[in-house]
């Protein structure tokens, strides 16, 4: 029997974003603009492009602006339309029509595992995606689409994995694996933020997950771990004792906008791809590079 289709996604976006203080004191890090669009809109569009119809965004009481962004703003739409700017009005209107969007608040900062667990009633007994709200994946990377294809073939949870320098593995969840095919590996062990000398590999979990609903049972039984939080990696480790789990490996196309330097890289690279900005922006960068003696 074919597995159920993947129709739903969860986007955890409740973290405090302390690396972007003082900006994130008043504005969620997920609302950082990449040119003229907030980070979280890129994430929502990635899910929609992969065929997702229903998205639950987990926020906190500090992040009402995320919900406002995906709501209709009739006053602006009308003003634009009255000025003959129908294309701009439609662009604003379409944001609220990207998918069926739902919101729930995580009352306490109890970790990623806890945030995902809050989606249990909404997801029910279906497979679902998790996309971290401050991670942008370039459309050409095809990570989420590849994960869904892997799930449809193997009917098990799938996690996105990317090689990182060994000295950096302590910043990530880490996977021990065996090869299945060109892009797929089978996960045999998961460790949250291991020291480099004991890490089972240099394959790091990278912001995209596809879970069977069994993960909710494991989250419910997971005790607080690293940082006193309920770590999704710990719940996934327990899941390994019950179900097979695959890793979908990729090498490029990720922007971790929770890090300042990667946020700046995202702005530059994605701006250069814009038809309306790319040529002029490229010229500006060339002028700066020449002035700084980089060319």
Q: Are strands 128-131 and 54-59 parallel, antiparallel or unpaired?
A: unpaired
Look up residue 109 and give its DSSP letter. -
pLDDT band at 227 (very low <50, low <70, confident <90, very high): confident
Concatenating the DSSP letter of every residue in 51-106 gives T--EEEEEE-TT-HHHHHHTS--HHHHHHHHHTT-HHHHHHHHHHTTSSEEEEEE-
CATH superfamily membership of 8-258: Spore Coat Polysaccharide Biosynthesis Protein SpsA; Chain A (3.90.550.10)
Instruction: Flag whether the pTM goes above 0.85.
Output: yes
Domain ranges for the chain: 8-258
Q: pLDDT per residue over 272-290, tens digit each? A: 999 999 999 999 999 999 9
- What tens digit of pLDDT does each residue of 98-128 get? 999 999 999 888 899 999 999 999 999 999 9
Model pLDDT, residue 55? 98
């Amino acid at each position: 029997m074919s597995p159920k289709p993947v129709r739903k996604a969860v986007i955890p976006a409740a973290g405090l974003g302390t690396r972007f203080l003082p900006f994130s004191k008043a504005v969620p890090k997920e609302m950082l603009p990449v040119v003229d669009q907030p980070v979280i809109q890129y994430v929502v569009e990635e899910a929609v492009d992969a065929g997702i119809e229903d998205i639950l965004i987990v926020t906190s009481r500090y992040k009402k602006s995320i919900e406002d962004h995906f709501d209709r703003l009739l006053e602006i739409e009308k003003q634009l339309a009255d000025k003959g700017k129908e294309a701009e009005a439609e662009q604003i209107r379409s944001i609220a029509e990207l998918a069926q969007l739902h919101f729930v608040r995580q009352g306490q900062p109890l970790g990623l595992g806890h945030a995902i667990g809050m989606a249990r009633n909404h997801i029910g007994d279906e497979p679902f995606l998790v996309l971290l709200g401050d991670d942008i994946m370039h459309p050409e990377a095809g990570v989420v689409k590849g994960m869904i294809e892997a799930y449809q073939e193997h009917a098990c949870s799938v996690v996105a994995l990317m090689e990182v320098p060994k000295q950096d593995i302590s910043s990530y969840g880490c996977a021990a694996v065996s090869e299945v095919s060109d892009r797929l590996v089978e996960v045999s062990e998961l460790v949250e933020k291991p020291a480099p000398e004991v890490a089972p590999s240099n394959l790091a979990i990278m912001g995209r997950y596809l879970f069977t609903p069994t993960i909710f049972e494991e989250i419910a039984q997971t005790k607080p771990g690293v940082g006193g939080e309920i770590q999704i990696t710990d719940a996934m480790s327990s899941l390994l004792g019950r179900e097979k789990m695959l890793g979908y490996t990729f090498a490029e196309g990720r922007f971790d906008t929770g890090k300042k330097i990667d946020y700046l890289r995202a702005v530059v690279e994605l701006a250069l791809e814009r038809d309306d900005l790319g040529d002029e922006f490229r010229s500006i960068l060339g002028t700066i590079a020449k002035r700084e003696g980089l060319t």
